[in-house]
Structure 1
């Protein structure tokens, strides 16, 4: 049986390395490579991509935009950067959204979702689609991630023998409220306004928790409506699971690294005793469902393979 030819453009970065490692263990793939001296040669990289059955772009945004126009229309491409997540002609690669699994089977241009965006979209998009959240809703979102989400430079800073003392405490960032994931968070959920979003990085390697508070009373909703809508949206899916209403938190705590090493995403629907306020929480690995795991899941569907092949679930 012929093997699929796969190329990872940018295989030395955090996401690229993890994708390459996952693929190396699978016998159905032939991994294409490029000489070290050609790694910044856009035409050499494009030629390699055009030889492949499917390629991953694990590049900075500018480099992804530079190579994309040089690619054959029929070559299958998964872009892990921010460059094409809201671009025309690119499918947003969150298979759990309605119609996306079937669309992936024929797609040639797929943008892998951002990690923070995944944590926000997963609980919010089904509520907007069901009409429980109006498109005019103004939401807040807080998202805590391990430092691996910042790539090689941030990893080196946190793992330095003499770490800057400031890095030992959680650090909010993107405080100008202009984070690069905001366009996809708005566009994919269908909201008219992007959320008031504060990402936070902390001194642990991997795992993340994304929180979206809801004022149920102001929205005219019940906790049961929200929890049941989310449970129905993800029922039977292999990767995303919704915990029953007010279940799942361990003694009132939730460890943000609890799913590190996993490709699952779990949603919690937690309320106050009065039931008029809710916290929607997505728990997952920023390196799993937040990046390389999501990319491999999309690749499987694009190639007609088992959706969960190579995933840690």
Structure 2
């Protein structure tokens, strides 16, 4: 008998992506709310408490309110918003980080899905800290290129408008105040003593992401060559089907290289003195709905890549 799944906020970008993925998922039955009842609290509550898994694809404040509607102790909530990523009692949904992370997800009823930029940063920085290659007080910086779908329906409409400003033709930096909403989870999950200096950049392509961390090896706590770091990270992510560590001299690296997939490629580029770690993935895949489905699969005891590519 299929598991019952409900998406609260099914009309948003992540909600629509989840519907698409779950429509091809043999293990679940998607509970759909009638269009005219999308904001009917009683109907939402009924469906939430009927479901084995509820995905929240809502603004932060609405996500916090939606959690209060779930009274069924067996219902697992997977929140795609920023609201609970550092909250006590919530599990951070990045199973590849460690066996402890995976076990916590499997047994959790409250899972916070990672942010897209945070996914790229944490995939690279977490092993560096936890393998002792850099100290927790390492002065991390990062820049992250994203397709415009990461801004949701309003930004998609701006970029795809028939008439638009010339500024949309150029990459645009944002989050210039160093107060980006993903910074708290970047610091909290990796265990670093201060958030990175972070430079997000939105570009004129639909989906894809490349999060880059520059590294000075003279600041490393444990001295390693580029070849040694590649080997260590390949071993760290060994056996994880959605993350691979690449050892290639690519010359050019496109942020949308693996769009429309749920995978992440971690590139180690540079030389023994100066390196860059670059996480390439789809901001709508491993950076959003793909990660949410992966977490759902683990909770339900299904193979973690079911319904994913």
Shorter-chain TM-score range: over 0.9
- Kindly state the Cα deviation for residue 132 of structure 1 after the two structures are TM-superposed: 1.1
Q: Structure 1 CA distance, aligned partners of 2:31 and 2:200?
A: 36
Secondary structure of the residue aligned to 1:70 is coil
- Kindly state the Cα deviation for residue 219 of structure 1 after the two structures are TM-superposed: 2.2
- Per the alignment, residue 277 of structure 2 pairs with 280
Q: Sort the Cα spacing of 1:284 and 1:248 in 2 relative to 1 into closer, same or farther, 3 A.
A: farther
Asked if the contact 1:127/1:226 (under 8 Å) is kept, the reply is no
Q: Structure 2 CA distance, aligned partners of 1:26 and 1:276?
A: 46
- Per the alignment, residue 87 of structure 1 pairs with 87
- Indicate which of 283, 289, 292 corresponds to 1:292: 289
Q: TM-score scaled by structure 2?
A: 0.95
- Per the alignment, residue 311 of structure 1 pairs with 308
| Structure 1 segment 186-201 matched on structure 2, within 5 A | 186-201=187-202
More deviation, 156-165/65-74: 65-74
- Give the aligned length: 305
Q: Structure 2 CA distance, aligned partners of 1:218 and 1:52?
A: 49
Q: Structure 2 CA distance, aligned partners of 1:28 and 1:248?
A: 40
- Per the alignment, residue 185 of structure 1 pairs with 186
Asked if the contact 2:134/2:219 (under 8 Å) is kept, the reply is no
Q: Structure 1 CA distance, aligned partners of 2:125 and 2:173?
A: 22
Asked if the contact 2:92/2:105 (under 8 Å) is kept, the reply is no
Q: TM-score scaled by structure 1?
A: 0.94
Q: Structure 1 CA distance, aligned partners of 2:83 and 2:123?
A: 21
1:16 to 2:3 alignment? no
1:229 to 2:232 alignment? yes
Asked if the contact 1:54/1:77 (under 8 Å) is kept, the reply is yes
Q: Structure 1 CA distance, aligned partners of 2:119 and 2:297?
A: 19
Show CA shifts across 1:208-231 (max 9, x none). Answer: 100000100232532234322211
Q: Structure 2 CA distance, aligned partners of 1:28 and 1:231?
A: 31
Asked if the contact 1:169/1:203 (under 8 Å) is kept, the reply is yes
Show CA shifts across 1:49-91 (max 9, x none). Answer: 1110111001111110111123124311110000011111111
- Per the alignment, residue 171 of structure 2 pairs with 170
Asked if the contact 1:127/1:229 (under 8 Å) is kept, the reply is no
Secondary structure of the residue aligned to 2:97 is coil
Asked if the contact 1:96/1:234 (under 8 Å) is kept, the reply is yes
- Kindly state the Cα deviation for residue 127 of structure 1 after the two structures are TM-superposed: 1.1
Q: Which runs of 5+ in 1 are unaligned?
A: none
Show CA shifts across 1:231-259 (max 9, x none). Answer: 11101210000012xx152xx11011111
Secondary structure of the residue aligned to 2:5 is strand
Asked if the contact 1:42/1:66 (under 8 Å) is kept, the reply is no
